[in-house]
Amino acid sequence: MRLRRRISGMAAFALSVVLAVTACLVSAGPAEAGQQGIQAADPSVLRVGGTYISVQSTGGGIAVRQASSTDGLSSATARQIWSDSHGLGEVWAPEIVRDGGRYYVYFSAGAGSAHRMYVISSANPDSGYTAETKLALPDDKWAIDGTMFTFNGQRWFVWSGWAGDTNVEQNLYIARMSSPTTPTGGRSIISQPRESWERVVGNPYINEAPEAIKDPNGQLHIVYSANGSWSDQYCLADLRLRSGGDPTYVWDWYKSNGCLFGSNAATMMSGWDPTLYVNGPGHHTFVLLDGDIATSPPAGPTFPLMFHAVAKGTPYSWANRHWYTGTFCWWGNTTYSRANVPGDNTNTGWSLKFFE
């Protein structure tokens, strides 16, 4: 009886993977990417009830939009929530997070090597924000693209930064948070741009724009952008934490065997297709309820994401980037591997499919 139940359970799991893949394909047939009227980079969007809330850099400040759909964000009024009154410098890639009913916006500001992470907060998404506070990230090195999330009851902060004080390469780092504004302990490196497909464009080589999400098995993923954002080689790749793994231990992370969302076939992971309508898709945001990775979708249906890219046929440049609405779904039974690692160097589990 136990054997029969075990076999039935295994068959059900196998069927669930097949159904997940089939549902993903059926529900996400090719459709042209939804270009927004927002000519900008680095979207960050979450859903609170039936309202979609986005945040963006506006030169020397940060603005919030609210709409009843992702497509409606482009026509929504952009309300300024913060201005660089202290002359911090370039304001990059704000990320909006909701924690305990309060909104937190993390952003990088500075000039050149002075870029550091800052945070503002409010009880309302588009008004009443505090003055900026510099995050006391461990080692106090150059840092951009930071965001906070909660996994297994622990708050974490993940960002792109330098190992030292010079621009050699951009790595991904993670640290614990004791509160939404207080890092604690040391920083741990979780990814370096060392694979051939993420070194097509360099000076420097980069891993940046990390975004957390939890898969149907409860495993943590950090989806990030690789290759230079100044190039149409820009793409999305994935880090998957092994089941029961330690987020601060680099060898518990497994990297996708290529880009999962990009416009160049040569850098794509086997079985993943390049984009049809845009070049250089990257720096994305998973559009989740309250921005909570615990609300990430089950296998099968597709869910919204937003990313920036340049329309095919348009010269690739930072000035030509727009926000786009796309979709994503989970893709089962996918192996990630890593070279030159003694012992177990492969890991099989959920990956992601992205669609324009």
Whole-number pLDDT of residue 342 = 66
Q: Check pLDDT > 60 for residue 26.
A: no
Average confidence (pLDDT) over 210-237: 97
Whole-number pLDDT of residue 338 = 82
Q: Tens digit of pLDDT for each residue in 171-200?
A: 999 999 999 999 999 999 999 999 999 999
Per the structure, the count of domains in the chain is 1
d(CA 267, CA 257): 9
Question: Confidence band (pLDDT; 50, 70, 90) for 59?
Answer: confident
**Least confident segment among 1-15, 102-116, 117-131:** 1-15
Instruction: Domain of residue 18: give its range.
Output: 2-355
Q: Check pLDDT > 90 for residue 340.
A: no
* Entry pTM: 0.92
Q: How far is CA 51 from CA 63, 190, 308, 342, in A?
A: 16, 33, 21, 48
Between 167 and 33, the more confident residue is 167
Whole-number pLDDT of residue 263 = 98
* 267 touches 227 (CB < 8 A): yes
Q: Tens digit of pLDDT for each residue in 250-274?
A: 999 999 999 999 999 999 999 999 9
Whole-number pLDDT of residue 36 = 86
Q: Tens digit of pLDDT for each residue in 64-102?
A: 999 999 999 999 999 999 999 999 999 999 999 999 999
Question: Confidence band (pLDDT; 50, 70, 90) for 344?
Answer: confident
Q: Tens digit of pLDDT for each residue in 295-331?
A: 999 888 999 999 999 999 999 999 999 999 999 999 9
Whole-number pLDDT of residue 29 = 42
Looking up residue 215, the CATH number of its domain turns out to be: 2.115.10.20
Maximum mean pLDDT: which of 9-18, 29-38, 234-243: 234-243
d(CA 107, CA 60): 12
d(CA 215, CA 217): 5
Whole-number pLDDT of residue 37 = 87
By percentage, how much of the chain surpasses pLDDT 70? 90
Whole-number pLDDT of residue 185 = 97
In degrees and rounded to multiples of 5, residue 20 shows phi and psi of: -60, -45
* 319 touches 311 (CB < 8 A): no
DSSP collapsed to 3 states, the chain: CHHHHHHHHHHHHHHHHHHHHHHHHHHCCCCCCEECCCCCCCCEEEEECCEEEEEEECCCEEEEEEECCCHHHHHCCCEEEEECCCCCCEEEEEEEEEECCEEEEEEEEECHHHCEEEEEEECECCECCCCCEECCCCCCCCEEEEEEEEECCEEEEEEEECCCCCCCEEEEEEEEEEECCEEEEEEEEEECCCCHHHCCCCCCEEEEEEEEEECCCCCEEEEEEECCCCCCCCEEEEEEECCCCCCCCHHHEEECCCECECCCHHHECCCCCCCCCEEEEEEEEECCECCCHHHCCCCCCCEEEEEEEEECCCCCCHHHCEEEEEEEEEEEEEEEECCCCCCCCEEEEEEEEEEC
Average confidence (pLDDT) over 13-39: 54
By percentage, how much of the chain surpasses pLDDT 90? 85
